[in-house]
Amino acid sequence: MAVKQFKTESKRLLDMMANSIYTNTDIFLRELISNASDALDKRHILSLTDPEISADDPKIHIDVDKKNRLITISDNGIGMDRKELEDNLGTIARSGSFEFKQELDEKSEADIIGQFGVGFYSAFMVADRVEVVSRKVNANKAYNWVSDMNGYEISDGERAEAGTTITLHIKPNSKEKKYDKYLDRNEIRSLIKKYSDFIRYPIEMMVETYDYKEDGKSEKVEKLEVINSMQPIWKKNKKDIKQEDYDDFYMQEYYDYAKPLKTIHYKVEGNTSYTALLYIPSQRPFNYYTNDYKLGLKLYSRGVFIKDEAKEIVSDYFRFIRGVVDSDDLNLNISREILQQDHQMNTLKKSVDKKIKSTLENMLEKDRENYEKFFDCFGSQLKFGCYDGFGANKDVLIDLLMFKSSKEDKYVTLKEYVSRMVKDQKEIYYASGESIEKIRQLPQMEKVLDKGYEVLYFTDSVDEFLTSIVMEYDGKQFKSILKGDLDLDNDEEKKQLEKKSEESKDLIEKIKEILKDKVSNVKLSTRLKSYPVCLVSDDNLSIDMEKVLRQMNQEGVKANKIMEINPDHELFKALKDLNDKGEDISEYTTLLYDQALLMAGLELDDPAQYALKISELMLKAIK
């Protein structure tokens, strides 16, 4: 039988395993037991739809043979055929974590093995030879897979029943590591307790105990015992679980380096009874906003796995949630398609949504710091949720939103905003822009801030779209300080402006004429304080939305731009004089317009021409 070589990456990983002297080698057992448990799950699922397949008496058996330095782990799960042995054990399955590894430096190697686990190959952390005998369910042949790390061999084998047996030849002790401890039953027993207690299938092993006789004497006997409590962590009593246990479970299940931000463990009794263990991650998965992101919510029924990515039981706007929902009342025979329409699913979903919402509300109220961390990661998701479906869920989500604002540069909820609006303020002001820095520099900000109004910073591209769907909060309209009429003035001031507009009619008409291809209107306004001009849009599409749409390749959609002029600015007065004298003002007008474009964060039509004109003016001024 020819010895086959491992694929390159597998070889590298194996070497890493074998030499990982700094790593916690204990985890090999957890990895192999977890594979066995998966194999039992798979057999169980098959048996639901295929009457030919039975899944009775599922179990995992561990044996320790000290004399021959062997540990065996066997299961009566789905088993593997020849090709599967080749494909699954000859190449590294968990390539995802391996790529991850390549990005890390040597020091973190221990972390990656310890936290993520590397599956089957972790056997080579403690063994110098591994033998696998496997027989696929409903097949009549078994196969051996044997490796001493320098390649592997596959041959015909013997196994009475379907399932898999893995035999580890434990390494001799080395200077750095003592492997002998793995040949001690008590040690193995405590490792099972520690790492695999919540495995749903019995893990049995011969243990030495004392048999007490009636006369009070005891005798040492060997007995087959189930080691694990078989209670999944979510089924345990809350008071018996430490936060550390919750964190470990989360990090193992989701291959996350970071502990979860929030753990939600609860039980619901009623029409649809269920237990849930939910987590809010403390960091956003790197692919969260892509199609590759997979919902990390699993559905179980009475402790038996039904499906992962269980979209049916949580709303899309809470898709950051991870964890397990285990229901007592689901009918296990229903196929997955039917599952989706099942009204029980809807009841579950409503209940899960409600719990997540109340948890978030509670955090917002009592644990602001963590809520803000959460919002930094997943706030945009909630905003999308509000916007989606023409605001169908806005009432659920609106109070969970926060925006940074001009008040303290800190997050503020809409409720808080409204509660601290100043006396004569009727609307909720916002300004959109690329960054807080850029918004602060907008010419339109000064006046509004002078009035004492708080301005929400809309830096997320979804923000302004959101206000086109959710137009008000608590009876107060959202109002962009960069759009339409701002209405900041009292009657007297308004009269003043009308008068000035009347007096400068000629000039304004002239400017309109010059800029007729560029702006839809030109007018005087009191929006500005130190700056001579600004660009705003009408009440429809804003200039910022136009930018976002352009990034989304929707070139055609344009904001109606209006150039507003500050009548109190010296430049306006000078321009008026010039025009009154009948001189040409088109160059200056274009320059003003260019300035307005720049301040609005838009590109100039002709930057070179702009630079030339500025240079000319500079020269005049210097001379």
Binding positions for ligand ADP, rule: CB under 6 A:
35-36, 39, 75, 77-80, 88-89, 93-94, 119-120, 164
**Among residues 74 and 480, whose Cβ is nearest to ligand ADP?**
74
Rounded least distance, CB 197 to ligand ADP, Å: 19
How far separated are the first and last CA of the chain, in Å rounded? 94
**Among residues 165 and 590, whose Cβ is nearest to ligand ADP?**
165
CA max distance for the chain: 126
Q: Which of 583, 605, 586 is nearest to 594 (CA)?
A: 605
Which residues share a beta bridge with 64?
Answer: 71
How far apart (Å, rounded) are the C-alpha atoms in residues 487 and 539?
13
Q: Which residue sits closest to ligand ADP, CB atoms considered?
A: 119
Rounded least distance, CB 93 to ligand ADP, Å: 4
Rounded least distance, CB 361 to ligand ADP, Å: 37
Rounded least distance, CB 257 to ligand ADP, Å: 17
Instruction: Encode 454-498 in three state secondary structure.
Output: CEEEECCHHHHHHHHHCCEECCEEEEECCECCCCCCCHHHHHHHH
303: left (phi over 0), alpha (psi -120 to 50) or beta: left
Complete edge-to-edge strand list for the sheet that includes strand 203-212:
152-157, 142-147, 127-135, 163-170, 70-75, 60-65, 203-212, 218-226
Rounded least distance, CB 132 to ligand ADP, Å: 8
**Among residues 36 and 585, whose Cβ is nearest to ligand ADP?**
36
Which residues share a beta bridge with 121?
Answer: none
Rounded least distance, CB 199 to ligand ADP, Å: 13
**Among residues 74 and 590, whose Cβ is nearest to ligand ADP?**
74
Beta strands in 343-412 (DSSP E): 403-405, 411-412
**Among residues 61 and 189, whose Cβ is nearest to ligand ADP?**
61
**Among residues 85 and 431, whose Cβ is nearest to ligand ADP?**
85
**Among residues 14 and 592, whose Cβ is nearest to ligand ADP?**
14
Q: Are 397 and 317 in contact (CB under 8 A)?
A: yes
- CA dihedral (324, 330, 331, 334) positive or negative: negative
Q: Which of 320, 335, 55 is nearest to 200 (CA)?
A: 55
Rounded least distance, CB 75 to ligand ADP, Å: 5
Rounded least distance, CB 92 to ligand ADP, Å: 7
- CA dihedral (535, 539, 540, 542) positive or negative: positive
Rounded least distance, CB 35 to ligand ADP, Å: 3
Question: Where does residue 582 rank: exposed (0-12), middle (13-18), buried (19+ CB within 10 A)?
Answer: exposed
3-state helix vs strand vs coil in the chain, percent to 5? 45, 20, 35
**Among residues 203 and 456, whose Cβ is nearest to ligand ADP?**
203
**Among residues 88 and 501, whose Cβ is nearest to ligand ADP?**
88
**Among residues 89 and 191, whose Cβ is nearest to ligand ADP?**
89
Q: Are 591 and 612 in contact (CB under 8 A)?
A: no
Please compute Rg for the chain using Cα positions. Answer: 35
**Among residues 10 and 327, whose Cβ is nearest to ligand ADP?**
10
Q: Which of 274, 314, 277, 276 is nearest to 294 (CA)?
A: 314
391: left (phi over 0), alpha (psi -120 to 50) or beta: left
Rounded least distance, CB 116 to ligand ADP, Å: 9
**The token pair that represents 289 in the structure block:** 């906003």
Rounded least distance, CB 88 to ligand ADP, Å: 3
